Amino acid sequence: MLQIHAQPGRVTVQVLSWFLFAVGLAAYFWISTARHHENADDRVTPTLVQMGKGFTDAILKPAEEDELTADADTQPLFTKIRNSMLWKDTAATGRRFAISLALLFPAVLLGLHMGMFPYVGTFFLRFVLFFDKIVALSLLPILFIAFGIDELAKVMLIVIGVAPTIILDAFNLTRGVPREQVVKGFTLGAGDFSVTYRIVFKQIFPRVLNSIRLNLKAIMLFLFAGEMIASSDGLAYRIALLRRHMGMDTIIPYVLWVALLLFLVDLGMRVLNRRLHPWFQEA
C-alpha cells in the first residue's frame, strides 16, 4: 500500500481524503458533549445547535442593536440578509481583500521588468530584498500614524507584506526562462517589449498567479491584523468583538465562513489559471 507506484481506487481516495475531517469533527463534538455534561452553561465548546443559532442570528439580524427596527420581523428575507451582521462584515472584508489583491498585479510587472531589463533590476533588487525582510506587522503603528485608521492603512499593510514576495518570485521566474528563447525572439525580429510580454510574461504568468493563490492566507492574515486593531466592521473586527463576550457559538462559524470564502477564491483562481493556461500542470 505504501509504495511509490501505488494507485488508490476512487473509494479509497474519498475515504482517506475525508478521514481527518471526520476525526476532527468527532473529537470536537465528543469534547463538547463532555464539557456540557459537566457544565450546561459552557461557552468554550458550543454544540452544533448553539453554533447553528449563532450563525443564523449573524445571517438574519442587524450588526448593531440600534439598527433594529420595529418591523424587522416583517421584512423580506433578502432585506434581512442585506442588513445582517454577516453580510456587512463580509462585504467590508471582501472589498479590502479585492483592492489589495488587485494591487499585487503591478508587483508582477515590476518583477518581470527587473528580470528582463538589467538597469531596472539593478535599481530595485537590493531595495526589494531588504524590504522583504521587514516584518510587515511591525510597520502597523507607522501605517496607522501615516495613513490614519481608515481603509488605506489596511490595504497598504497587505501590499507591503505580500508584494515583495510576489516581486521576487516574478523576478526569479523571469530569470529562469531559457535565454535561448529570448535570443530566438530577437532573431525573429521581436523588440524588447515584444519579447518581454509575448514570450517571457506568457510563460511566467501562470506560475506567478499560482504564487498569488498560495499567498491568499497571508493576504487575509495581514487584513485580519489591521481589522482587529483598528476597524468598525469586517470579519476580523466581529471576531475580536465577540471574543470579549466569549461568543464562541458565532466565532467558530465565522472562522469556518472565512475558510470557505478563501477556499472558493482559491478554487476560482485555479479554474481561471487552468482555463487561461491549459498547459500549466503545477498544483
Residue 187 CA: distances (Å) to CA of 113, 184, 191, 260: 21, 5, 10, 49
Query: For residue 171, is it within any domain?
Result: yes
Model pLDDT, residue 40: 83
Q: Answer yes or no: are the C-beta atoms of 177 and 116 closer than 8 Å.
A: no
Model pLDDT, residue 277: 87
- Domain ranges, residue 174: 82-276
d(CA 182, CA 178): 7
Query: For residue 202, is it within any domain?
Result: yes
DSSP-assigned letters across all residues of 168-216: HHHHHHHHHS-HHHHHHHHHTT--HHHHIIIIIHHHHHHHHHHHHHHTH
d(CA 81, CA 179): 55
What is the per-residue pLDDT across 163-175, written as a single tens digit (0 to 9) for each? Answer: 999 999 999 999 9
Model pLDDT, residue 155: 86
Query: For residue 246, is it within any domain?
Result: yes
234 falls in which pLDDT band (50, 70, 90)? confident
259 falls in which pLDDT band (50, 70, 90)? very high
pTM score of the predicted model: 0.84
Q: First vs last Cα of the chain: how many Å apart?
A: 24
In this predicted structure, the answer to whether residue 117 has a pLDDT above a threshold of 60 is yes
Query: For residue 46, is it within any domain?
Result: no
Portion of the chain with pLDDT greater than 90, in percent: 38
Q: Helix, strand or coil for residue 47?
A: coil
Q: What is the pLDDT averaged over residues 9-21?
A: 89
Model pLDDT, residue 55: 87
Pick the range with the lowest mean pLDDT from 27-31, 89-93, 149-153.
149-153
R_g (Cα) of the chain, nearest Å: 24
In this predicted structure, the answer to whether residue 108 has a pLDDT above a threshold of 90 is yes
Model pLDDT, residue 64: 63
Instruction: Identify which has the larger pLDDT, 259 or 65.
Output: 259
266 falls in which pLDDT band (50, 70, 90)? very high
Query: For residue 26, is it within any domain?
Result: no
Q: What is the pLDDT averaged over residues 32-36?
A: 90
Query: For residue 266, is it within any domain?
Result: yes
231 falls in which pLDDT band (50, 70, 90)? confident
What is the per-residue pLDDT across 196-210, written as a single tens digit (0 to 9) for each? Answer: 999 999 999 999 999
Residue 30 CA: distances (Å) to CA of 45, 54, 55, 146: 10, 20, 21, 49
Total domains in the fold of the chain: 1
Q: Which of 251, 222, 73, 89 is nearest to 159 (CA)?
A: 222
Instruction: Give the CATH number for residue 132.
Output: 1.10.3720.10
Q: What is the pLDDT averaged over residues 3-13?
A: 83
DSSP state of 41: T
Compute the mean pLDDT over every residue in the chain, rounded to the nearest whole number.
Answer: 87
